[in-house]
Structure 1
């Protein structure tokens, strides 16, 4: 790789990552050591699954991407029984597809470091659903005490995706997780100095939803009425204080119909009649910003970033502008809610 390629600058997110960890630590209930010992008493290093006499199962899972970060785990309600750093043998990590997501592939003689988590069966089942474009494979891992084990890892089901650079945000999440769980400094240094990334945007480069009437305001009560439960009220969503109204779906024979219907279903179930920023912040974790406790805990810069990353790509072209129309702005209350993560 040439020196002209961009490398990760993780120093700018150090302080807020620590604050986010403090938030998570204050909310996690740690597993009792006696429970952990009773589970590990039935461990077989040759198997990626621990089966207890009562039929309960626990899974060893090697995280290679964002799931090695405690914040990402928490946001997906994944609380490992234990976690430890390890080396995966005869495999390497590659970054593929849109956004440069982490994938694993066989490579004799290669190795990389990751974080092994022990998850309950319920958590592993949920993780399977999250990793829809991946399949589970069994890989050999060795911890830093040279003890071997089998573990599950996720491999992309479509390997034809071209190699691509990870985003700086994504690699920062990975590096922060590596540091948190005690991955070898040499491996972290390789990620920082050798892995090129797509750089983060500067705030002045953020794109935003345009053509929002500057003199039209609605209240939170107005917004809630448009949650999709009453057909007399078209669906509204609110991102960064801007309210958008769903105009309607294209004709069923339109080539855009299925994509728009799918997007509409997601929006209605997750964001209709609500401010979407807080939920998007949890789905689109960015270490540069502290994990917010509620909607009011988001900074203006964080909201602008969320608008740029999540919604501007959907509303900046004519196709999507047909179906979502900016109609006004939200007049927020100064009252701080007690909602939390």
Structure 2
């Protein structure tokens, strides 16, 4: 039996992405051009950093994955000083296991395209924390006027992982960003029509948490107490009003420790003691759904998609035994 190959459908999310841009990007306060010009006075194409006389530092960052997309980068509270399309010679983009995330690979005579952002050093440090499975390297880039500049790019820490297709959602994010920043159309078309993808799940296949203790409710205040900062209280988080409890990190010498330790800081800092659906909507941006200027304004299907994603993360074999459903969140806001 021949396995079916799926390719990206570029039209499904066009309207939602356009509305998301209108909702959030049109309200951003852009840096004054004179400030950018003052920074660029200290720029050198043979350096990936700009250091001002007062010690402030700025970074040229070549985005290859979701950070190409203006909504994705906005949802991480990052506003570039400037952005422009560019290409990287003698390298190619590959998508690697386990989730088909973008990586770069040296390849003579090849080139890939993306978007270069000028960020503050503080913004770049925050991205370093987010891109925990990558490390920064310096490569040469060229803008569409054939001007070269050294830039930082993220490369996977674990090298030579298997090649696997990206998810349709992830490739959609990349392509929408390429379109927005006017990356070369031939490159965009290769991504659209030649790159195999793992198709999106259909809403009728979404799974949700159902094994919830009956008649057990906790207040928002009780949930907030379990934010992971009190060693005497277990970490709680809520997904669509369903509260899960984390049993805690295993011993350092336990086989699961490294994986649990890698993700625990995210759950604690971003999700602990709160309704995490809104956080996950920002973390796992899906162009199919409109991003509103009001974080709490999520449609029913978007909420279901987020819960499905979280359901599968929690039920992953190395995570399942660390989480349990303990009750529901008592709320008066009907939006939940």
- TM interval, shorter chain, is 0.7 to 0.9
C-alpha distance in 2 between matches for 1:248 and 1:125: 27
Query: Which residue number corresponds to residue 128 of structure 1?
Result: 128
RMSD: 2.8
- 1:329 is the counterpart of 2:308: no
Residue correspondences, number? 335
Query: Which residue number corresponds to residue 77 of structure 1?
Result: 77
Tell me, yes or no, if the aligned pair for 2:84 and 2:181 is still in contact at 8 Å: yes
- 1:56 is the counterpart of 2:80: no
Query: Which residue number corresponds to residue 151 of structure 1?
Result: 151
Question: How many angstroms does 1:233 deviate by?
Answer: 5.6
- 1:201 is the counterpart of 2:201: yes
Return closer, same or farther for 1:132/1:315 CA change in 2, 3 Å cut-off. closer
- CA deviations 1:46-96 (Å, max 9, x no partner) are 332233333333222111111111111112222211111112111111111
Tell me, yes or no, if the aligned pair for 1:13 and 1:288 is still in contact at 8 Å: yes
Q: TM-score, normalised by structure 1?
A: 0.87
C-alpha distance in 1 between matches for 2:229 and 2:184: 52
C-alpha distance in 1 between matches for 2:200 and 2:138: 34
Question: How many angstroms does 1:121 deviate by?
Answer: 2.1
Return closer, same or farther for 1:277/1:40 CA change in 2, 3 Å cut-off. same
Tell me, yes or no, if the aligned pair for 1:209 and 1:315 is still in contact at 8 Å: no
Structure 1 stretches of 5 or more lacking a match? none
C-alpha distance in 2 between matches for 1:71 and 1:275: 22
Question: How many angstroms does 1:257 deviate by?
Answer: 5.4
- CA deviations 1:28-48 (Å, max 9, x no partner) are 221111111122223222332
- 1:109 is the counterpart of 2:97: no
Query: Which residue number corresponds to residue 210 of structure 2?
Result: 210
Query: Which residue number corresponds to residue 185 of structure 1?
Result: 185
Tell me, yes or no, if the aligned pair for 1:208 and 1:312 is still in contact at 8 Å: no
C-alpha distance in 1 between matches for 2:221 and 2:108: 60
Q: Which moved more, 1:187-196 or 1:47-56?
A: 47-56
Question: How many angstroms does 1:15 deviate by?
Answer: 1.8
Tell me, yes or no, if the aligned pair for 2:24 and 2:293 is still in contact at 8 Å: no
- CA deviations 1:231-255 (Å, max 9, x no partner) are 7765432112212234566677754
C-alpha distance in 1 between matches for 2:138 and 2:226: 47
C-alpha distance in 2 between matches for 1:219 and 1:300: 22
Query: Which residue number corresponds to residue 140 of structure 2?
Result: 140
- CA deviations 1:302-327 (Å, max 9, x no partner) are 1111111123331365x655443323
C-alpha distance in 1 between matches for 2:153 and 2:144: 18
C-alpha distance in 2 between matches for 1:162 and 1:225: 42
Secondary structure at 1:5 match in 2: coil
Return closer, same or farther for 1:179/1:3 CA change in 2, 3 Å cut-off. farther
C-alpha distance in 2 between matches for 1:64 and 1:73: 12
Tell me, yes or no, if the aligned pair for 1:278 and 1:294 is still in contact at 8 Å: no
- 1:170 is the counterpart of 2:164: no
Tell me, yes or no, if the aligned pair for 2:66 and 2:173 is still in contact at 8 Å: yes
Query: Which residue number corresponds to residue 36 of structure 2?
Result: 36
Question: How many angstroms does 1:153 deviate by?
Answer: 1.5
Structure 2 stretches of 5 or more lacking a match? none
Return closer, same or farther for 1:327/1:292 CA change in 2, 3 Å cut-off. farther
